[in-house]
């Protein structure tokens, strides 16, 4: 059987693969775009878009319950219609996916293949009964929820972030195993929908990659809404208890019994079933495809982008991977992964925006540093909105004035963080932020004030 030849093959129609197919096609290349599941990848179908649509519904319910705090009188208690919440979420996702499918269909030089791609050789892949070949192959196969081998885990009907999207009933008691970003977003939203929620984390604190003060405030935010949080929870096991699920942890404590269990314990790359060994593509011990600073794999002519390469686990890092590959191949612009600054958000309410180094990382580096911090109780806009949980913190190099990192945990934190992030990309010193005039009233207007009040980091 002869292989059909293309200029490029893109495996995975996610946040890097789809726009890259568009750029390559616009440059005159014939492109085969292969997707085994849903166009748009994790972000559109089970990640950012559907979950943030649900976060918006949860926020509306939360704000309605607080109506009296703002002098607003409602005729009765606030409830939610979970089926309508799910329908709204589904529409957001379906519309986004449909728009992508239309766009791909309009590319005259791009052929969409539905199926599972596996390498036959370094330049040939099989999709179903068809062989496709190209001198350039781009992998954007994403990742999936990790299901650790906890005792009893396969004896109970557990949920992951993906299967949560199909849930059509509101849990009476949701037990979330894991205390990081995905888990906490689900914990808060379902508490606001009316579920009893328990979070179980084996580490000493939630969001372990954050500074301890950030983790403490995040836990306080969740507990203030009635979420039960257990940290230092060792020896986790699961078992059926009638129609419910019992989660046992930390010897001596009684089990927590709930109606549903969500496993949110990290993600693994979708690289184990691509036939990478036949192509000679190297992976690391965790299964991530090994890439260089321009996302080239160990095999010439093969690139890896997005969650499968271990260089980031966010939509924005995946899209930036596309930009780096396209810039190098098509624009004679030598962009690199190492050029980017770590930045991300946690979409609880209030949200956390983070960029650059944490305080712990700065201390570990041994640099002389300056730090400034302000609680949201001293931010006028937060007080006016009645949303004063959280704080802002900025770190700078004491010798050079380089901005090292920033944390904004509070209203608009996911947006305000970009004030600092953009200055970091511009390599502007902290004095530039200190001299800036921001708009009043706004959360970000206090960032220059903090920059003027920096003190040595002990």
Prior bond of 104 cis (ω within 30°): no
Q: In what order do the strands lie in the sheet with 31-35?
A: 110-114, 31-35, 8-11, 136-139, 302-304
Taking the C-alpha atoms of residue 188 and residue 367, their distance in angstroms, rounded to an integer, is: 37
Instruction: Write out the catalytic residue numbers.
Output: 440
Our separate counts of H helices and E strands in the chain read 13, 24
Helix (H, G, I), strand (E, B) or coil at 132: strand
Helix (H, G, I), strand (E, B) or coil at 424: helix
| Whether 414 contacts 349, CB under 8 Å | no
β-pairing verdict for 228-230 and 196-200: parallel
Tokens 């309508």 found at? 84
C-alpha distances out from residue 423 to 351, 404, 430, 432, 443, Å = 21, 11, 9, 8, 17
Please enumerate in sequence order all residues whose Cβ is within 8 A of that of 271, keeping only pairs 6 or more positions apart, or say none: 141, 283, 287, 288, 289, 308
């Amino acid at each position: 059987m002869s292989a059909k030849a293309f200029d490029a093959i893109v495996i995975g129609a996610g946040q890097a693969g789809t726009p890259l197919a568009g750029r390559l096609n616009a440059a005159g290349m014939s492109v085969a775009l292969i997707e085994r599941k849903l166009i748009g990848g994790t972000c559109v179908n089970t990640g950012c878009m559907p979950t943030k649509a649900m976060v918006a519904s949860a926020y509306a319910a939360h704000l309605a319950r607080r109506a009296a705090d703002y002098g607003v009188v409602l005729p009765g208690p606030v409830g939610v219609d979970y089926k309508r919440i799910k329908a709204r979420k589904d529409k957001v996702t379906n519309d986004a996916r449909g728009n992508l499918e239309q766009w791909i269909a309009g590319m005259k030089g791009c052929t969409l293949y539905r199926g599972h791609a596996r390498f036959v050789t370094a330049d040939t892949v099989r999709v179903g009964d068809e062989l496709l070949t190209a001198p350039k192959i781009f992998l954007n196969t994403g990742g999936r929820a990790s299901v650790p081998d906890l005792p009893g885990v396969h004896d109970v009907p557990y949920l992951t972030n993906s299967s949560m999207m199909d849930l059509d009933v509101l849990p009476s008691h949701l037990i979330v195993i894991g205390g990081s970003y995905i888990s906490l977003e689900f914990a808060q939203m379902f508490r606001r929908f009316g579920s009893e929620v328990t979070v179980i984390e084996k580490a000493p604190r939630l969001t372990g990659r954050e500074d301890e003060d950030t983790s403490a405030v995040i836990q306080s935010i969740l507990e203030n809404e009635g979420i039960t949080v257990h940290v230092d929870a060792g020896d986790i096991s699961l078992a059926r208890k009638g129609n419910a699920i019992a989660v046992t942890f930390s010897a001596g404590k009684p089990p927590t019994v709930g109606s549903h269990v969500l496993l949110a314990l990290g993600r693994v790359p979708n690289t184990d079933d691509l036939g990478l060994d036949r192509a000679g593509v190297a992976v690391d011990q965790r299964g991530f495809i090994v890439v260089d600073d321009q996302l080239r794999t160990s095999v010439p002519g093969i690139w890896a982008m997005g969650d499968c390469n271990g260089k980031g686990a966010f939509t924005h890092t995946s899209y930036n991977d596309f930009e780096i590959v396209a810039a190098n191949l098509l624009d004679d612009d030598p962009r690199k992964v190492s050029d980017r600054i770590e930045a991300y958000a946690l979409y609880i309410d209030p949200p956390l925006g983070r960029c650059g180094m944490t305080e712990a990382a700065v201390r570990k580096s041994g640099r002389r540093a300056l730090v400034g911090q302000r609680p949201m109780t001293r931010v006028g806009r937060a007080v006016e909105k009645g949303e004063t949980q959280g704080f802002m913190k900025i770190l700078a190099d004491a010798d050079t004035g380089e901005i090292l990192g920033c944390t904004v945990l509070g209203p608009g934190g996911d947006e305000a963080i970009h004030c600092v992030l953009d200055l970091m990309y511009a390599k502007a010193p902290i004095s530039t932020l200190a001299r800036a005039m921001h708009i009043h009233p706004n959360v970000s207007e206090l960032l220059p004030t903090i920059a003027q009040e920096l003190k040595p980091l002990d």
